[in-house]
């Protein structure tokens, strides 16, 4: 994996995104000047007052430097950027800059990372050398001034930690515990600290090291910061103190080594491309890195479309999590995938209430959800009818059980979810002279509002109903009689002449119509029926399946450059024998919104109007899932992974093969090799 390097200052450069699945940072080119933090589960009142939103948290590794009494924070223009390097091997960001006052020049090297093994912990090391004698100050600080919300508790924790506070988000929706500890040493000798713990500093908390700086020596300040959301502990500030004490016992370097080891283990699941251009390998490496930066086993509230990189879509959880991100995480980091499923399990009681509110049985998961699982859709109220998310979640539960063989999770959690969704489908479907129909919904194509019999909802509902019946029999229970009946008779909108599955009943292509929610080109054809083949694996009949693929392949090019399903389009084109079209979807759908120097991905392409939103983790998870499952021809079905290889291998462009040394199935690691033109992928256990 590469170390991504920037050597020229760019005032418009998007800050680096560092995260570990619980804490996310944006770190500027001069790290001591610019930094922000988000925490999974820490939310506040949206400025519109309509909903909640992920809220900015105190930056846990704030710092400053002074030369002869003049602080960098007061003279930011005096900083001279030299370089910034992001090591994808271990998630460490290394920044170098100079700070000058009069004839004194300090060279500052900053190391920053979010620890993966202790996910509440952020670490930073500031190393400084000077060109001539001076009075040098290195300062660690916790500064909530300017943050939305208010201070609840400020403690003087004596020798335990240097700073500690409890902060409440706007509207009092949640609280965050924040703290830090700092040490400074030179040539193995630790320096004395000055702390402003006089009892009245209720905003800025700091630890200051005053040094007689000398040329030829390096002074190193090590910071350990902590952030704990109230979602995970009722007294987050006190738990932050405990977490920080534990981190101090491990010490800075040992924690750093543990983080690097955790990343090294993850990278054993790296996707390697044979015969592909370097840009595609870079795309997959950065996507793997950012996806896994955004989730781990400690993630309490699943993954938002932008992870923890920004507050886009208010940090809410959508179908993106289960349909695009989850499959790639499932086989590379099963414990992180389990955390994503546990979020839906925790929110199941609210899904049951949501179904009742709408007059139905079972579980109806909301289109947008936050900490507690209630519906929080605000600006896009039609989302309340985007009901395919319900079966998307049930489908992910089925994938999890098939992939892990976790019988306890199956019986205690997955089965109640799938049963609840199956009950909802039966309740939501209306019996007509054509069988059963689900009316007045919004499909994946959000430009089509208030339609009947959306293909994704109806067809994936059939899968869920059938699986619910099989699971009931496996548990020696009597399946609900209506499940099989509705599964068989649920109406699928099929063109009467050419026999292809329509996006929804009555769909008519409008060459002038644009997609919803974006400055996209005209003439986009609704291709969501292709989602039935991949990723959902729905098969209607040989005649209809082939007619559907044949029809949509004629219009697939109209989707070029669109977000969301661009990765799936790569699979569709490749499987249908169009390798150059598949490659074009990679170039236009991904590389056109691949932003240097840190290889983040925007939701929209560079050539679209307006500023692209980054870092779009949905797209990064989507390409991982598309390559691991779609291009490798795997269907996660019940049984050993040797039986998952279902499709001939057809790869984009000149790709010769895909090699993945370690994926996981049922607790066992296995290797996958997918060679272009092969009948199916080669799968072998490696334990």
**Which residues are registered as beta bridge partners of 676?**
none
CA atoms in the 13 A half-sphere facing the CB of 206: 17
Per-residue model confidence (pLDDT) at position 522: 59
What is the DSSP track for 337-363?
HHHHHHHHHHTHHHHHHHHHHTT-SS-
Please give the residue range of the domain that contains residue 170: 3-265
- Residue 663 resides in a domain: no
Cα–Cα nearest to 531, from 516, 543, 548: 548
CATH code, 134: 2.70.98.40
- Residue 615 resides in a domain: no
Burial class (CB in 10 A: 0-12, 13-18, 19+), 579: middle
Q: Which two tokens stand for residue 543?
A: 């005649």
- Residue 233 resides in a domain: yes
The mean pLDDT values, 10 residues at a time, for the chain of 687 residues are 89 91 96 93 86 94 96 95 97 97 97 98 98 96 91 72 92 95 91 70 81 96 97 96 94 97 98 97 97 97 96 93 97 98 98 97 96 86 87 98 97 98 98 97 90 97 98 96 97 96 92 57 81 96 96 90 86 96 92 88 64 82 97 94 95 97 95 98 92
Cα–Cα dist 363/99, whole Å: 58
Q: What are phi and psi of 35, to 5 degrees?
A: -170, 145
Per-residue model confidence (pLDDT) at position 607: 45
For residue 194, give every residue at least 6 positions away whose Cβ sits within 8 Å of its Cβ, in sequence order, or none.
Answer: 207, 208, 209, 210
Cα–Cα nearest to 13, from 676, 599, 631: 599
**Paired sense of beta strands 92-101 and 104-114, if any:** antiparallel
Cα–Cα dist 582/601, whole Å: 19
- Residue 31 resides in a domain: yes
For residue 384, give every residue at least 6 positions away whose Cβ sits within 8 Å of its Cβ, in sequence order, or none.
Answer: 366, 367, 375, 377
- Residue 178 resides in a domain: yes
- Residue 71 resides in a domain: yes
**Which residues are registered as beta bridge partners of 71?**
66
- Residue 28 resides in a domain: yes
Give 86-111 as a 3 state SS string.
EECCCCEEEEEEEEEECCEEEEEEEE
Cα–Cα dist 282/272, whole Å: 10
- Residue 566 resides in a domain: no
Residue 611: strand, helix, or coil = coil
Cα–Cα dist 146/686, whole Å: 53
Per-residue model confidence (pLDDT) at position 249: 92
Q: Which helix (H) or strand (E) holds 16?
A: strand 16-19
* Total domains present in the chain: 1
Contact predicate 603/612, CB 8 Å: yes
Cα–Cα dist 46/377, whole Å: 12
Identify how many contiguous H helices and E strands the chain contains and give both numbers: 16, 28
Cα–Cα dist 325/278, whole Å: 23
Contact predicate 414/405, CB 8 Å: no
Preceding peptide of 554 cis, ω within 30°: no
Contact predicate 506/450, CB 8 Å: no
Per-residue model confidence (pLDDT) at position 374: 94
Cα–Cα nearest to 175, from 194, 156, 147: 147
Per-residue model confidence (pLDDT) at position 513: 63
C-beta neighbour count of 376 within 10 angstroms = 22
C-beta neighbour count of 45 within 10 angstroms = 18
Where residue 527 falls (left for φ over 0; alpha for ψ -120 to 50; beta otherwise) is alpha
Per-residue model confidence (pLDDT) at position 199: 46
Contact predicate 342/406, CB 8 Å: no
Distances (CA, A) of 98 to 83, 110, 131, 675: 10, 11, 11, 50
Cα–Cα nearest to 211, from 240, 187, 232, 180: 187
C-beta neighbour count of 374 within 10 angstroms = 17
C-beta neighbour count of 79 within 10 angstroms = 20
How many residues appear in the chain? Answer: 687
Cα–Cα dist 372/354, whole Å: 12
Contact predicate 174/230, CB 8 Å: yes
Distances (CA, A) of 498 to 317, 402, 614: 38, 35, 41
Q: Which two tokens stand for residue 524?
A: 């986009």
Cα–Cα dist 3/687, whole Å: 31
Q: Which two tokens stand for residue 134?
A: 């001076």
C-beta neighbour count of 679 within 10 angstroms = 10
**Paired sense of beta strands 657-665 and 70-71, if any:** unpaired
Per-residue model confidence (pLDDT) at position 587: 92
| CA angle (166, 172, 176) in 5-degree steps | 30
């Amino acid at each position: 994996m590469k170390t991504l390097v920037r050597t020229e200052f760019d005032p418009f450069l998007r800050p680096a995104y560092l995260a570990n699945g619980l804490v996310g940072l944006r770190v500027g080119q001069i790290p001591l000047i610019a930094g922000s933090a988000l925490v999974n589960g820490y939310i506040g009142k949206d400025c519109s007052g309509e909903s909640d939103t992920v809220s900015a948290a105190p930056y846990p590794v704030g710092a400053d430097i002074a030369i002869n009494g003049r602080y960098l924070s007061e003279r930011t223009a005096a900083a001279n950027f030299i370089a910034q390097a992001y090591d994808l091997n271990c998630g460490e960001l290394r920044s170098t800059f100079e700070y000058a006052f009069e004839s004194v020049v300090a060279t500052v090297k900053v190391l920053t990372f979010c620890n993966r093994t202790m996910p509440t912990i952020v670490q930073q090391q500031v190393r400084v050398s000077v060109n001539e004698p001076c009075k040098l100050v290195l300062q660690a600080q916790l500064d909530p001034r300017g943050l939305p919300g208010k201070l609840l508790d400020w403690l003087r924790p004596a020798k335990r930690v240097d700073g500690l506070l409890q902060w409440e988000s706007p509207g009092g929706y949640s609280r965050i515990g924040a703290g830090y500890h700092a040490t400074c040493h030179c040539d193995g000798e630790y320096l004395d600290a000055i702390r402003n713990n006089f009892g009245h500093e209720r905003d800025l908390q700091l630890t200051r090291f005053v040094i007689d700086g000398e040329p030829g020596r390096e002074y190193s300040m090590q910071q350990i910061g902590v952030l704990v959301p109230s979602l995970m502990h009722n007294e987050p500030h006190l738990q932050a103190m405990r977490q920080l004490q534990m981190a101090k016992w491990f010490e800075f370097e040992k924690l750093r080594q543990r983080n690097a080891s955790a990343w090294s283990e993850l990278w054993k699941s790296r996707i390697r491309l044979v015969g592909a251009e370097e840009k595609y390998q870079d795309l997959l490496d950065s996507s793997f890195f950012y996806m896994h930066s955004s989730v781990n086993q400690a993630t309490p509230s699943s993954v938002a479309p932008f992870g923890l990189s920004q507050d886009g879509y208010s940090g809410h959880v959508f179908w993106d999590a289960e349909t695009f991100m989850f499959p790639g995480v499932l086989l590379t980091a099963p414990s992180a995938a389990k955390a994503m499923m546990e979020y839906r399990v925790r929110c199941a009681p609210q899904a049951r209430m949501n179904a009742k509110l709408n007059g139905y049985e079972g579980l109806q998961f909301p289109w947008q959800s936050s900490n507690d699982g209630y519906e929080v859709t605000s600006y896009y109220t039609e989302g309340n009818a985007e009901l395919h998310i319900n079966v998307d979640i049930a489908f992910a539960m089925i994938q999890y059980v098939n992939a892990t063989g976790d019988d306890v999770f199956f019986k205690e959690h997955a089965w109640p979810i799938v049963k609840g969704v199956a009950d909802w489908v039966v309740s939501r479907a209306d019996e007509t002279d054509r069988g059963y129909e689900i009316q007045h919904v919004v499909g994946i194509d959000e430009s089509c509002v208030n339609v009947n019999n959306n293909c994704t909802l109806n067809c994936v509902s059939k899968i869920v109903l059938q699986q619910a019946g099989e699971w009931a029999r496996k548990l020696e229970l009597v399946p609900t009689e209506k499940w099989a009946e509705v599964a068989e008779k649920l109406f699928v909108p099929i063109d009467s002449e050419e026999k292809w599955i329509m996006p929804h009943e009555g769909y008519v292509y409008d060459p002038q119509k644009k997609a919803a929610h974006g400055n996209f080109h005209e003439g986009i054809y609704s291709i969501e029926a292709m989602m039935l083949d991949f990723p959902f694996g729905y098969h209607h009949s040989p005649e209809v399946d082939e007619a559907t693929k044949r029809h949509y392949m004629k219009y697939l090019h109209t989707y070029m450059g669109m977000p969301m399903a661009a990765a799936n389009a790569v699979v569709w084109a490749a499987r249908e024998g169009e390798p150059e079209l598949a490659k074009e979807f990679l170039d236009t759908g991904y590389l056109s919104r691949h932003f240097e120097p840190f290889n983040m991905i925007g939701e929209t392409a560079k050539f679209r109007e307006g500023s692209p939103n980054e870092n779009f983790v949905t797209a990064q998870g989507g390409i991982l899932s598309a390559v691991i499952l779609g291009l490798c021809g795997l269907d996660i079905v019940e049984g050993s992974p040797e039986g998952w290889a279902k499709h001939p291998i057809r790869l984009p462009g000149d790709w010769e093969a895909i090699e993945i040394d370690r994926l996981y199935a049922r607790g066992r690691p296995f290797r996958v090799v997918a060679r272009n033109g092969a009948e199916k992928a080669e799968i072998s256990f490696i334990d």
